[in-house]
Amino acid sequence: MAILKRRSVAILIAIILVAVSTSTGVKISLESASRDVEELFYSGVEYDGYLHPSIYSQLEKRSDAANGLLTIGRKYELTAECDDLEQAREFLGYSGGPSSYYYNNEDLQKAFDVLKNELSSCELTERDAKLVEEYTSIFTNAAGVIADSGYNEAVRAFYRDVIYQFPAEWFYYNMYIDTPSYFGTMWY
pTM, two decimal places: 0.83
The domain limits of the chain are: 2-50+151-174, 55-147
Average pLDDT across the chain, whole number: 88
Rounded to whole angstroms, the Cα distance separating 175 from 15 reads: 18
What is 31-44 written as a DSSP string?
HHHHHHHHHHHHH-
Question: Which helix H or strand E contains 76, and what residues bound it?
Answer: none
Q: Mind listing the pLDDT tens digit for each residue in 145-175?
A: 999 899 999 999 988 998 888 877 777 777 7
